[in-house]
Structure 1
Amino acid sequence: MSTATMERPTAPSNAAGSSDSRSIDLAFTSADQVHEGLENAVEALIETAAQDGNCGIRVTRLEPGRYKVALDESVPFGETHEDIAA
């Protein structure tokens, strides 16, 4: 049996009037879960990105099975970029 976790930390208290999460941390125990899990996380952040209108989404592979999906002002609005952490 495999499991996936999706954590949505709350925004810092000094965020500009928004309680929306700007990042999602993911951990997968099976490669079969990665694609769907990342798609769901990106979909969850698209609404917030559309409200901001000044950032895109960055998906970072932190290590095997661990990813971070976050709004990123260095990514153009409407785009999703993928990275692998060093």
Structure 2
Amino acid sequence: MKTTMDLPVTVRATDRASMERQLDEAVQDALTQAMHEGCQGILVTQVDPASFTVDLSDAVPFGLTREHRAW
């Protein structure tokens, strides 16, 4: 049985396929935790062209995933 990751998760990738796979895994993990807690949404923040963070956020309504570019 897979356990959830500690949030936030930082994703760094050198190619698009790796980035998409890592982001999908991080968002799925965040979704599992969000469903368990039931009060926060998921925020995916692009820090630079090759790195992202995935975290739960009070600023995002439960049940939603929002993207933010911080650069």
**Fold match by TM threshold 0.5:** yes
Decide which structure has the larger Cα Rg and report it: 1
Unaligned 5+ runs, structure 2: none
The structural deviation recorded for 1:69 is 0.3
Aligned residues: 67
TM-score of the two chains, using structure 2 as the length reference: 0.84
TM-score (norm 1): 0.71
In structure 1, stretches of 5+ residues that fail to align are 1-19
Give the structure, 1 or 2, with the largest relative contact order (CA under 8 Å, sep 6 or more). 2
Higher percent of residues as helix:
2
Instruction: Give aligned-pair identity as a percent.
Output: 30
Partners of 1:22 and 1:50 in 2: CA distance: 14
Provide the alpha-carbon RMSD of the alignment: 1.3
Structure 1 residue runs of 4+, over 2 Å off? Answer: none
